[in-house]
Amino acid sequence: MADTLIKVDLKQSPYENAQVHNRWHPDIPMAVWVEPGDEFKLETYDWTGGAIQNNDSAEDVRDVDLSTVHFLSGPVGVRGAEPGDLLVVDLLDIGARDDSLWGFNGFFSKKNGGGFLTEHYPLAQKSIWDFHGMFTSSRHIPGVNFAGLIHPGLIGCLPDAKMLEAWNTREAELIATDPQRVPGLANPPHAATAHMGQLQGELRERAAAEGARTVPPREHGGNCDIKDLSRGSRVYFPVYVNGAGLSVGDLHFSQGDGEITFCGAIEMAGWVHMKVQLIKGGMTKYGIKNPIFKPSPIVPNYKDYLIFEGISVDESGKQHYLDVTVAYRQACLNAIEYLKKFGYSGAQAYSILGTAPVQGHISGVVDVPNACATLWLPTEIFDFDINPNAAGPVKMLDGSIDMPVAPDK
């Protein structure tokens, strides 16, 4: 049996749990140690540490303090791990907690976080998703029901001091190009809400002031939000510090490629059952700078898709040069317009794209000036036929149910 090495109490503030942290810093002490070959379980908070509640108001999404995220369980020290090794992590299983069989999705206010389509949906909105075993559905979005593809949005090892400095330097340079931008171009260190695990005293104060925020993915993995890095996957992480320092959190019951809604996928508290091994000197042996992984043998078996194309010409008609972000945004907006014909609100359609097992593909990046991105919408997740036909779309929903919205204060 795999022991649960880190436990969390969802009724307790994550700041009171010393086996949790919300910044990346090499001085954060290991919360627990394991041996190569060990199997163990870690419990995790949802990424906001309980800030978002299972109710019918989006005010918590509007008011959330994003400097507090992400609450991670760890770091787990692995005996014998040294800089330059690869840490092999088997995600043997991942699940929701019995006392928390639900998750949330939403979009932040443009003034507090935003999202991929924040220019179109600038206000905070929320949908709650109930878990029925391996399936999920939402009281705020009728007509859709799908199998979970459970994965950690965030997993990775501690950086060393040199790597941390590189992160902070390059991100500060980016912020300096437009410091007043809303939302910001990146998030600098922020000591006031830092949770540095077991670190105490003067060391803690210094580390809190320079600890990297957990928002972006970086060389160590981190907040990659890859839906396919799901239970059953095997991941190979670069190791930068003695003991590796593996941390995990931000569990998702399901997510569409891109996690476009940003708050977030279907976010949940839960547990991860894993096994760790080492490949000594593996970074050089395999030429690895960023993590690599093998996918799970178990994935939701949706075979039929309606695929929306997007090109790098933005909503105003402006031509962009091979810009994949612009192209994917157009593919998403095209899918939303289509789903609205069946009675969904734009917000509901946006939420479906952020939560369902939607695929995003970079289809072409050489045909100047237009990049082409495609969004693959699984048709079998809907209770009704969404395929085009000569008779035209049938409006299946009457608009009486929608996602709660919170006007800006």
> What CA–CA distance (Å, rounded) separates 339 from 349?
6
* Comparison of 47 and 116: residue with beta carbon closer to Zn ion: 47
Q: Considering only CA atoms, which of 232, 238, 226, 267 is closest in space to residue 100?
A: 267
* Comparison of 43 and 250: residue with beta carbon closer to Zn ion: 250
In DSSP terms, 89 is beta-bridged to: 235, 276
Binding Zn ion by CB under 5 A: which of 77, 103, 152, 153? Answer: 153
> What CA–CA distance (Å, rounded) separates 374 from 313?
14
Smallest distance from the beta carbon of 390 to Zn ion, in angstroms? 41
Smallest distance from the beta carbon of 255 to Zn ion, in angstroms? 8
- CB-side neighbour CA atoms (13 Å) of 247: 33
Binding Zn ion by CB under 5 A: which of 85, 250, 257, 323? Answer: 250
Q: Is 264 in the site for Zn ion (CB under 5 A)?
A: yes
% helix, strand, coil for the chain, step of 5:
20, 30, 50
What residues have CB less than 8 Å from 272, skipping those under 6 apart? 41, 42, 44, 73, 91, 93, 94, 152, 248, 251
* Comparison of 171 and 250: residue with beta carbon closer to Zn ion: 250
Instruction: With contacts defined by CB under 5 A, name the span among 153-161, 173-181, 193-201, 339-347 that binds Zn ion.
Output: 153-161
The one-character DSSP state at 198 is T
Smallest distance from the beta carbon of 137 to Zn ion, in angstroms? 19
Determine the Cα angle at 55 with ends 253 and 386, to 5°. 55
Q: Is 354 in the site for Zn ion (CB under 5 A)?
A: no
Residues of this chain, 181-240, that bind Zn ion according to CB under 5 A: none
Smallest distance from the beta carbon of 44 to Zn ion, in angstroms? 11
> What CA–CA distance (Å, rounded) separates 331 from 312?
10
Q: Cβ-closest residue to Zn ion?
A: 264
* Comparison of 62 and 252: residue with beta carbon closer to Zn ion: 252
Q: Is 257 in the site for Zn ion (CB under 5 A)?
A: no
Smallest distance from the beta carbon of 147 to Zn ion, in angstroms? 19
Binding footprint of Zn ion on the chain (CB under 5 A): 47, 153, 250, 264
